[in-house]
Amino acid sequence: MRATTSFLSEQDLDELATELKEWPNTARSNDAFELGVTPFVTFYFLYDTKRYVETSLLMVDIHEEFERLVGKPYKTATHPDSERPYPYGSKRIPDLREYAKNADADGHFAFSFNDETNHKSSPATSNNSWRIPAYQNDRESRRDRTYSSIQLYYRWSWWKDNKVAWRAFVLQTIQKLQPEQVYSGFAMANPLEFGTRSEVAVWERALTSRFYGLDIDSPYGMHRELLWGVRPPTWAFLLSDVWREQLSLTREAVKAALTHPRITITELDAGLWIELGSEPELYPVESGVPELPSLLNKLLRPIRHDAMGLLDFGEWDGDPNERFTNADAVRWMRRFDEDSDWPSSEQRLRAPIDSVSQSLTSISGGQPCPQAGWWLTPAKAGSRSYFKVGEVMPIIRGSSYGSTFWQWDIDQSGPKL
């Protein structure tokens, strides 16, 4: 799509940035369609090609579980062969299970569902699932392979009311799918009409200069690139054993490196599910470089891949709409590094570290409590307890989490009913 005038004004950007600080699931309209930021979770995985039918059926299972979870909001569906969109429930959409059973191993198995009838607009809730052909999954070199993916969008208001159910669904999906990478946070929601990604790329370039926590999650541009390395997570992330082993670290070593009262780590068969705080944040640039994404980025830096496919709609000569260049894409990928200059040296400030979290780290079970207050441990559900200074922090025996680490609860308001 070639433009002769800029469709994104500084006023548009200022207004959306202001709205996002108040409500991070916000869209902006240009009369023809609207584009917006939304919460997401995306699973990237390889699969056993001998069991490609089972993998396709599992993807359908996950679709149906997610659809039930979010309350069946869909208005549009795509045909798994032609990928043409039809109204949700149309007889032109075949039964996905039957289609999956007869699909060719060396063909794509792809489907999308979303709550938008305008295919150029960002959906608020959607499922974009894509199993890549067996020959792309089985290439001899890992770096020549391609990830399959399941990308889910959902409303922020829904997530706020369904955090526990959402988390259970994500962890169960990881256990079933055994993905190699999973990301969750905030991102621009890609419309069903692929060409509209040209406009999305302009908004991404502009908004990433305003928010450190705005991720870019474009599976079609990252399926191959992610097999070369991870990207810096903004909130929740699966550090699979496949990638952890490339860091030459044990699970316990990763936990020790990420010891922080606001970081939660859950052990799964596939790896470690890491949450940077209780919920995702956009982290406005003026508030400073965020502490928790920077801490995780420092750990992952040896396996990070900085050429992450942000140029699927790159700039051309004379284009008045700024998109990522190769140089800026690398700068953005490195934005959490200590020596970064993103978005500019003048704008980079370190976020103030909470006085309590600065003086406290997670305390191992069996150690004396360093400060009176409410503490909790991921080694036991419902563990939140009040400890006095010097009181020995208990060790949780037989926990699937492993070692017991007590974390300072940032909510010190008293017992929870």
Per residue in 10-52, pLDDT (tens digit) is 888 899 999 999 999 999 888 888 999 999 999 999 999 999 9
The sign of the CA dihedral 214, 217, 222, 227 is positive
340 inside domain? no
Q: Which residues does residue 32 pair with via DSSP β-bridges, in sequence order?
A: none
| Same domain as 35, residue 164 | yes
Kindly tell me if the per-residue pLDDT of 359 is higher than 50. no
| Same domain as 394, residue 260 | no
| Same domain as 316, residue 241 | yes
Which of 280, 299, 333 represents a domain boundary (last residue)? 333
4 inside domain? no
Kindly tell me if the per-residue pLDDT of 313 is higher than 60. no
How many residues are present in the chain?
Answer: 417
| Same domain as 235, residue 363 | no
| Same domain as 400, residue 291 | no
Token reading at 154: 């959902």
Domain of 388, in residue numbers: 357-417
Query: Is residue 360 within 8 Å of residue 371, measured between CB atoms?
Result: yes
| Same domain as 314, residue 364 | no
Query: What mean pLDDT is predicted for residues 298-320?
Result: 77
Intra-chain end-to-end CA distance of the chain, in Å: 55
Element (H, E) at 408: strand 405-408
368 inside domain? yes
146 inside domain? yes
Q: How many domains does the chain have?
A: 2
Q: How many CA atoms are closer than 13 Å to the CA of 175, on its beta-carbon side?
A: 9
- Tell me if the pTM is above 0.95: no
Query: Is residue 134 within 8 Å of residue 49, measured between CB atoms?
Result: yes
| Same domain as 373, residue 318 | no
pLDDT, tens digit (0-9, with 9 covering 90-100), for 156-184:
999 999 999 999 999 999 999 999 999 99
DSSP type of residue 248: T
Distance CA 81, CA 103 (A): 9
| Same domain as 324, residue 376 | no
| Same domain as 281, residue 373 | no
Kindly tell me if the per-residue pLDDT of 358 is higher than 50. no
* Chain mean position to CA 37: 13
Distance CA 316, CA 130 (A): 30
Which of 300, 333, 366 represents a domain boundary (last residue)? 333
Q: Output 337-343 pairs: Cβ under 8 A, ≥24 positions apart.
A: 337/297, 337/301, 338/294, 340/289, 342/209, 343/208, 343/209, 343/210, 343/285
